[in-house]
Amino acid sequence: MQNVVFIVMDSLRRDKLEVYNDEVDFTENIDGFAKDATVFDDVVAQSCWTLPSHASMFTGMYPWEHGATQRNLNLDVEEDLLVERFIEEGYDTACFSINGFLKDHSGLVEGFDKVENFGLSDKFEFVNKIEGLVEKWLQTESRFKKTLLSMGDTIFHYWGSEMRETEEVLDSAEEFIEDSENFFVFMNLMDAHEPYHPSKDYKKKHVEKNSICQDPTDYYSGKKDVDFDEVHEHYNASVDYMDDQIGRFFEYLKENNLWEDTTVILTSDHGQMLGEEQHYGHQYLLHEKLTSVPLIAKDAEERENVELRQLYDLIPKWAGISDQEISDTDEMKGFYDFPEMMVNRIPNQCRDRLYRKHKFIRKNNMKFIETTKESGEKIYEGRSKENGASKVEVSDEMKEELSEMESTSSSTGIEDKEEEIKDQLEALGYG
């Protein structure tokens, strides 16, 4: 029975790791880890942003099955979550992160013995109050949604540097491990997620221009020009830093004689668009740069392909607490609901392009995509795995299969909370 360290490198593109791209020369620690681990070549994320992707890893379900999407920002399923399978085996469990969705309000951290989040609410009281209101809204059908989301976006994009506490995350994980016998530790590291605020040492190594457009909305609206070569530089500097911190943590495990008894999994919940097809960030579509992700695991057997949702069964097997046979899948699938959470950030001139629902099925190196516009019109594409130009017609049979991938999510709400939320917002000066 192995210990488990499960690290999600949020928003990390697979082509930014040396093990997947020979042109990269700044991820030597992860590359070193990969030499003694299993590197999976074909791995698909079930969505392009934190909540549904993590929910799929933690439940083994597709987004339209677990229902945690843009329209329902809460995971609530009857089945045991991944962490609960380890709790049943007597493990001490902990979640350390900076990501605002890895908190109680989302349902993602249900069951963990210890949850520690290093976001802004732990540093500033006014952020904590606003976050509390947002958490209430997440359980309502609130007409104040745009106001709350706008405040949250402003906090994140303009004070995001306060959220880059990867060292704190890893230090806390080490402290927890020291007091545990058998441990399951999950971490989410946010360095590859915009906005990018690498330290001076890493900027000096990678960056020529200090100031870049940090907010994808400013790019889509045309408020700011974006030189994506410069964005890549900041992204690379941030990934370089994260790689060094991961390397430091791995050394801790080795120096404390924990390495041989610990199954270690590195992956990403999704990638990041850095100018491809005129997109920035990771919302609004299911491009291969977003859904094709890295996966490197110690003590894991090779597999031809993996959906991230399969980690729900694979990690217990690799750790030795399950002997379940896990079959390969001929089809890999993903889903992105209408971006209700992001609607206030979509410029009017981009609404038809960005306010859409997407589904895909990947089969035989082809990706079949169904896009639903706000009007209800459906568009179908058959693309190569690399997201090249459309190459094949989508058959009626495939269209029918795509149509069956329907979201079970709903905007569940409690109307009588709205006045309470409004009063509290006004008390904070947001009336």
DSSP assignment string, 303-344 = -S-EEGGGHHHHHHHHHTS--------S-EEEEE---GGGGG
Contact partners, residue 328, CB within 8 Å, separation at least 6? 303, 304, 305
Dihedral of the alpha carbons of 311, 313, 318, 324, in degrees to the nearest 10? -160
Show the tokens assigned to 421. 């939320």
Please give the single-letter amino acid code of residue 54. Answer: H
User: Strand 183-189 vs strand 3-9: parallel, antiparallel, or unpaired?
Assistant: parallel
Contact 69, 101 (CB under 8 A): no
Is the overall model pTM greater than 0.75, yes or no?
yes
Contact partners, residue 332, CB within 8 Å, separation at least 6? 44, 305, 307, 361, 362, 363
- Phi and psi for 7 in degrees, rounded to 5? -115, 125
Per-residue pLDDT 10s for the chain (431 aa) are 999 999 999 999 999 999 999 999 999 999 999 999 999 999 999 999 999 999 999 999 999 999 999 888 889 999 999 999 999 999 999 999 989 889 888 899 999 999 998 875 444 455 555 555 555 555 454 445 544 544 554 444 444 444 458 999 999 999 999 999 999 999 999 999 999 989 889 999 999 887 899 889 999 999 999 999 999 999 999 999 999 999 999 999 999 999 999 999 999 999 999 999 999 999 999 999 999 999 999 999 999 999 999 999 999 999 999 999 998 888 999 999 999 888 888 999 999 999 999 999 999 889 999 999 999 999 999 988 766 666 788 999 999 999 998 865 444 333 333 454 445 444 444 44
- Nearest-angstrom CA–CA distance, 219 and 330: 38
Domains of the chain: 3-326 (3.40.720.10)
- Nearest-angstrom CA–CA distance, 180 and 47: 33
Show the tokens assigned to 350. 């981009």
- Nearest-angstrom CA–CA distance, 313 and 57: 9
Give the distance between the most distant pair of CA atoms in the chain: 59
Strand positions, DSSP E, 124-236: 183-189
Contact partners, residue 78, CB within 8 Å, separation at least 6? none
Contact 262, 4 (CB under 8 A): yes
User: Which has the closest alpha carbon to 45: 280, 264, 295?
Assistant: 295
* Concatenated DSSP letters of 360-417: EEEETTEEEEEEE-TTS-EEEEEEETT--S--BPPPHHHHHHHHT----------GGG
- Phi and psi for 100 in degrees, rounded to 5? -65, -15
Contact 189, 9 (CB under 8 A): yes
| pLDDT of amino acid 150 | 46
| pLDDT of amino acid 417 | 39
Contact 228, 271 (CB under 8 A): no
